[in-house]
Amino acid sequence: MKVRLRSLGSLAPAADVEHLLRGLPWPLSGQDEGPLEIDSTPCVDVVRGQLDAACLLQRLPSPPAGEALLVLTGHDLFLPALTHVFGASLLGHRRGVLSWCRLQLAPTPDPGLGRRMLIEATHELGHALGLVHCPVTHCAMHRTLWPEGIELKQPDYCPICRDLLRRLVQ
């Protein structure tokens, strides 16, 4: 499954994006496609100073058949009910968005940022391809609510999620 990686707004550190592209697990294969040209202004909540992830997902173009789209952004994302989210996806619609805003725990260069981005990108792409959250704590599809918790996961799917993903992709 080819993953088109697009950026929105300021660019993520190149080394971390490189780490993400190299580390995506089977059956994902990433390719950097450069900045995404869409007008995200209607999705900006000026009062909260954040970007509405649900609104943004609706505005993303549909990827070609057999491909998935992941947008990387430095904007802080939120959903109307929640203060923030690390990322969001349209379940099974092969579209997702990931913010590194809250994944950065130390000033640039944050040595752990690349790994956290890779794990959460794997997570959001899993949703985009139809996977739901997984109770296995080291699986990339396990839900984490705080950035430190991401460190407990692996940038890969557990055998059950991988098997599900294989059938979804086929």
Binds other proteins by CB under 8 A, chosen from 13, 90, 133, 168? 133
* The token pair that represents 160 in the structure block: 């059950």
The minimum distance between CB 92 and other proteins, in angstroms, equals 13
> Which one of the spans 19-27, 116-124, 127-135, 150-158 is the region binding other proteins (CB under 8 A)?
127-135
The minimum distance between CB 145 and other proteins, in angstroms, equals 4
Using the CB atoms, write b or e for 140-163: b if 16+ within 10 Å. Answer: bbbebeebeebeebbbbbbeebbe
Give the rounded distance of the alpha carbon of 168 from its chain centre: 18
- Residue 152 near other proteins by CB under 8 A: no
Question: In sequence order, which residues have a C-beta less than 8 Å from that of residue 38 and are 6 or more positions away?
Answer: 8, 59, 60, 61
> Which one of the spans 19-27, 29-37, 139-147, 156-164 is the region binding other proteins (CB under 8 A)?
139-147
Q: Residue count at the site for other proteins (CB under 8 A)?
A: 16
> Which one of the spans 15-23, 61-69, 130-138, 151-159 is the region binding other proteins (CB under 8 A)?
130-138
- Residue 146 near other proteins by CB under 8 A: yes
Binds other proteins by CB under 8 A, chosen from 13, 84, 105, 112? 84
Please tell me the distance from the alpha carbon of residue 55 to that of residue 90, in angstroms, as a whole number.
Answer: 11
Concerning whether 124 is annotated as a catalytic residue, the answer is yes
Binds other proteins by CB under 8 A, chosen from 1, 30, 51, 78? 78
Binds other proteins by CB under 8 A, chosen from 42, 82, 111, 163? 82
Quick check: bond before 64 cis, omega within 30? no
CB atoms inside a 10 Å sphere around CB 60:
21
- Residue 80 near other proteins by CB under 8 A: yes
Please tell me the distance from the alpha carbon of residue 20 to that of residue 88, in angstroms, as a whole number.
Answer: 17
